Amino acid sequence: MNIVSTMVSLSIMGIAGPQVAQMAIAPMVAQKQSQNFTSAEALAVTVAAQAEAKSELPTIPDGCSVSPPIDSVYQVTCNEGSGQFSAQVTRSFRILDEVADGGTGTREFAHERPEKFSGHQCPVNDTYGVDGYNDEWYDLLGGACKPAVAWNKNAYLASDPDSWLYDLNNINGWGNHPGY
């Protein structure tokens, strides 16, 4: 009886052994991957922060690369580790001084854009809130009223930037207006 139990136990361990060994090292593999990801993330965030703070591209560390800008937005990609332990991180950033006109496309507007907008639409008799509506209601509403052309994306895209009283480009994160 003892020899049969021993043989069955050894057979089970022979089959299960590799899986048990894999489970035993899995936490160590995950830890190494996590360390490499943390290092890559730290490098990418540092490059992006330095570029934004200094308004110029900093020295790019080993293991990182910066893509050419698209609409003045750069991407830095940092790699750390190798093989199954490798980690790659990509972060985007802008260098605002490269947009010499402040992003307005050299357009001039009759009024300054309000700092923040409320969820309220401007009334029909003061379509941009510049004729006194925002002066009276800004604090109570928690921001300026939204012009009808900024109330939804379709109205925004159908509007004419030449008729805006202040800069509405990329309002609500809808991207640059095609006619801007």
Segment 72-126, tens digit of pLDDT: 789 999 999 988 889 999 999 888 765 544 454 567 888 999 989 988 999 989 9
SS3 content of the chain, % helix, strand, coil (to 5): 45, 15, 40
Which is more confidently placed, 55 or 43? 43
Residue 101: its pLDDT value, please?
Answer: 46
The stretches of 55-132 forming alpha helices (DSSP H) are none
Residue 21: its pLDDT value, please?
Answer: 62
Cα dihedral 46, 47, 53, 54 sign: positive
Phi, psi of 21 (to 5 degrees): -65, -40
Cα–Cα distance, 116 to 143 (Å, whole number): 5
Two tokens at 47?
């490059």
Least confident of 14-28, 45-59, 118-132: 14-28
Residue 90: its pLDDT value, please?
Answer: 93
Which is more confidently placed, 68 or 2? 68
Residue 95: its pLDDT value, please?
Answer: 81
Alpha-carbon distance values, 44 to 50, 54, 81 (Å): 10, 16, 15
Residue 87's DSSP bridge partners are: 80
Whether the model clears a pTM of 0.85, i.e. scores above it, the answer is no
Which is more confidently placed, 15 or 112? 112
Residue 1: its pLDDT value, please?
Answer: 58
Residue 66: its pLDDT value, please?
Answer: 92
Two tokens at 9?
């136990």
Residue 40: its pLDDT value, please?
Answer: 93
Residue 170: its pLDDT value, please?
Answer: 84
What would the pLDDT profile of 33-42 be if each residue is shown by its tens digit? Answer: 999 999 999 9
